[in-house]
Amino acid sequence: MEEQKVLTGKAQWLVFKRLMHYLVPHKKMVFLALGLLALTVLGDVLGPLLIKTFIDDYLTPGTFPTGPVAGLALGYLFIQVSNVIISYFQLLKFQEAALKIIQQLRIDVFTKVQNLGMRYFDKTPAGSMVSRVTNDTEAIKEMFVSVLIGFIQSAFLIVGVYTAMFFLNVRLALMTLVLLPLLFGIMFLYRKYSSVFYQDLRERLGQLNAKLSESIQGMGMIQAFGQEQRLQDEFNDINDKHWAAGRRNIKLDGLLLRPAIDIVYAIALIMLLSYFGVMSFSSTVEVGVIYAFVTYVDRFFEPIGQVMQRLSIFQQAIVAASRVFALLDEEDLAPRQENALGTITSGKIEFRNVTFSYDGKNDVLKNISFTAEPGQTVALVGHTGSGKSSIINLLMRFYEFKNGDILIDGKSVKSYSAKELRSKMGLVLQDPFLFYGTIDSNIRLHNHSMTDSDVRAAAEFVQADRFIEDLPDTYGQAVTERGSTFSSGQRQLVAFARTMATDPKILVLDEATANIDTETEVAIQTSLEKMRRGRTTIAIAHRLSTIQDAELILVLHHGEIVERGTHQQLLSNRGLYHKMYLLQNGIVE
């Protein structure tokens, strides 16, 4: 979990401004909602006015002419009814806008996640990324729903109240202005500490989630090794720290929010009363003015209190938003492809002096050069950790390389559109990954144009049809998360079928049959053999038998190609390959 630095006031302001930009596409709805809000405020002002008219004009004199009184009553009812309807729609519209804004924000973050490079995924726990896409955005929603409208309403009111006060008594109004710095002071203090505290709280929440997510996924291991207690302790430790952070926030909120505002309110009252009281010692004071001022101070503090109440939601939203924006601004992007229109036709692959490092320090691949002619099979062999998968990672553009170049059909891989590359190259990963869904949806993925018979053909191709057809629901059989109800070999077969279903021009196999029995493997080999024409294949295998008739075998050692040739040539070289080969066949020299 990366630590974020404390947000300065300016940074918070920027985050806020950026959030406000999300309002722009919904400006119509927002303006509509604000218009409705204004109408309801108007209704709130008019209602009491009608009552005042009734009291002053009719009740006080004690005359009740039917016409005007009924008119007033009807008018009052009309205002009430329309107020109810309008405020319903105003509330609904505002929530709708907020929900849509959050949806947009979520889609933006998710899209960003899709565009990040593998390097980012290597270093960031999935749980913390998920938490940003869903939970942090949820915290921002609260701000749009409850805070913003409250702020706007309060701003209206405060301006109105001050105008009225200046109207009544300039001197006193100026005096009450003294309250403003006091209030701002409290807000400033609150902002200063709460941003630190809330950030701490959210970070702890992030840690909690990351721990939880990893523990859930690794529960099998935790239980197999009897580490439940330790994990519980570790979790409790984070949980307690999160709890402590929560309590700290409550203390801060208690010290500086509503209770503090009420103290200022009391100060204001005391100020008013002493002013008028002292005045009354020397001259007469109009009681009406006192009432008006007291009411206005009341009115003034009511929205302030509301704002302060919601300040904590606001603060949380800003902290959450800053985390979301940090992800949106992440620069560890997937390698760029120029969107050229080139198409891959023959499938020739050439590595030219490619040197690569994951961390910028240790070179994992050193000066790799080789050529796979169209239709050829090139095999990569070598000890574990020698860099075989890394070569594929580069070819598939999972990681960006700096030195050397990789050419497909004579042009750099960087100059094909991502779409072209993905549609022409098929990769079977070393670790198969199945999605929640069905067997069918796992082979088909999001490709809806694929027919059922295509799916079946792909399954048959890799010999997966036999076990699939034995399943109660055959191709419609449910697949749970990561395919946990299938054997490892079965998962690998489904993942293999998925790649074959796209009928790739270039096929890349990374230990595609490592968990599969020999019989099935041989059958797959035969199918591949049949379909080899016109397909360039790059295969990694530890079982040398599976790559025996490759046109070119590359032997990797510590990231370097130390031997190359056909099987026969390599054997007669009596080098590393020969040694590996002898070992595998249990022949001792």
Partner 1 sequence: MRVFLELGWFFKERKKHYLIGVLMLLIVAFLGVLPPRIIGFVVDEISRGSLTPAFLMKWLGLLAAAACAMYVLRYAWRQMIFGSSVLLARNLRKQLFDHLTRMSPAFYQKRRVGDLMAHATNDLQAVQQTAGPGVLTLVDSFATGGFVIAAMAFTINWKLTLIVLLPMPLMAYLTNYYGKLLHERFHRAQESFSGLNDKTQESISGMKVIKTFGQEQEDIEDFQRLSGKVVEENIRVARVDSLFDPTISAIIGVCYFLTIGFGSYFVTRGEMTIGDLVAFTAYLGLLVWPMLAFGWLFNIVERGRASYDRIRSLLAEPVDIDDRENALDKRPEGNIVVSVEKFQFPGDERSALRDVHFMLKRGETLGIAGKTGSGKSAILRLLLREFDRYEGEITFGNVPIQDYKKQRLREAIGYVPQDHFLFSTTVAGNIAFARPNAKMEEVVQAAKLAHIHDDILNFADGYNTVVGERGVSLSGGQKQRISIARALMMRPELLILDDSLSAVDAKTEEAILESLKKTRTGETTIITSHRLSAIQHAHQILVMHEGSVAEIGTHEALLERKGRYYEMYQLQQLEALVEQGGEA
Ligand X SMILES: Nc1ncnc2c1ncn2[C@@H]1O[C@H](COP(=O)(O)OP(=O)(O)OP(=O)(O)O)[C@@H](O)[C@H]1O
Residue ranges in contact with ligand X by CB under 6 A = 122, 358, 364, 382, 384-390, 430, 485-490, 515
Decide whether 322 or 520 has the Cβ nearer to partner 1. Answer: 520
Q: Comparing C-alpha atoms, which of 392, 497, 514, 388 is closest to residue 434?
A: 497
Minimum distance, C-beta of residue 435 to ligand X, in the bound complex (Å): 17
Minimum distance, C-beta of residue 60 to partner 1, in the bound complex (Å): 6
Residue nearest to Mg ion (CB): 389
Minimum distance, C-beta of residue 248 to partner 1, in the bound complex (Å): 10
Minimum distance, C-beta of residue 221 to partner 1, in the bound complex (Å): 5
With tokens 């008028």, the residue in question is 276
Quick count: other Cβ atoms within 10 Å of Cβ 500? 24
What residue 422 binds from Mg ion, partner 1, ligand X, none (CB within 5 to 8 A, per partner kind)?
partner 1
What residue 125 binds from ligand X, partner 1, Mg ion, none (CB within 5 to 8 A, per partner kind)?
partner 1
Minimum distance, C-beta of residue 461 to partner 1, in the bound complex (Å): 16
Decide whether 199 or 546 has the Cβ nearer to partner 1. Answer: 546
Decide whether 14 or 562 has the Cβ nearer to partner 1. Answer: 562
Backbone φ/ψ region at 399: left (φ over 0), alpha (ψ -120 to 50), beta: beta
Residue nearest to ligand X (CB): 489
Decide whether 71 or 385 has the Cβ nearer to partner 1. Answer: 385
Backbone φ/ψ region at 343: left (φ over 0), alpha (ψ -120 to 50), beta: beta
Give the interface with Mg ion as residue ranges (CB under 5 A): 389, 487-488
Decide whether 125 or 575 has the Cβ nearer to partner 1. Answer: 125
| Side chain identity at residue 101, one-letter code | I
Structure token pair of residue 583: 């070992």
Minimum distance, C-beta of residue 504 to ligand X, in the bound complex (Å): 20
| Side chain identity at residue 581, one-letter code | Y
Decide whether 369 or 568 has the Cβ nearer to partner 1. Answer: 568
Minimum distance, C-beta of residue 479 to Mg ion, in the bound complex (Å): 17
Backbone φ/ψ region at 483: left (φ over 0), alpha (ψ -120 to 50), beta: left
Q: Comparing C-alpha atoms, which of 334, 327, 414 is closest to residue 114?
A: 334
Residue 229 Cα to chain centre, angstroms:
31
162 three-state secondary structure: helix
Q: Comparing C-alpha atoms, which of 333, 335, 324 is closest to residue 109?
A: 324
What residue 354 binds from Mg ion, ligand X, partner 1, none (CB within 5 to 8 A, per partner kind)?
none
Q: What are phi and psi of 155, to 5 degrees?
A: -60, -45
Minimum distance, C-beta of residue 471 to partner 1, in the bound complex (Å): 8
Decide whether 196 or 582 has the Cβ nearer to partner 1. Answer: 582
Quick count: other Cβ atoms within 10 Å of Cβ 12? 18
Q: Strands 403-408, 411-412: parallel, antiparallel or unpaired by DSSP?
A: antiparallel
Decide whether 286 or 371 has the Cβ nearer to partner 1. Answer: 286
List the 536-540 sheet strands across, edge first: 425-428, 506-510, 536-540, 377-382, 552-557, 560-565
What residue 8 binds from Mg ion, ligand X, partner 1, none (CB within 5 to 8 A, per partner kind)?
none
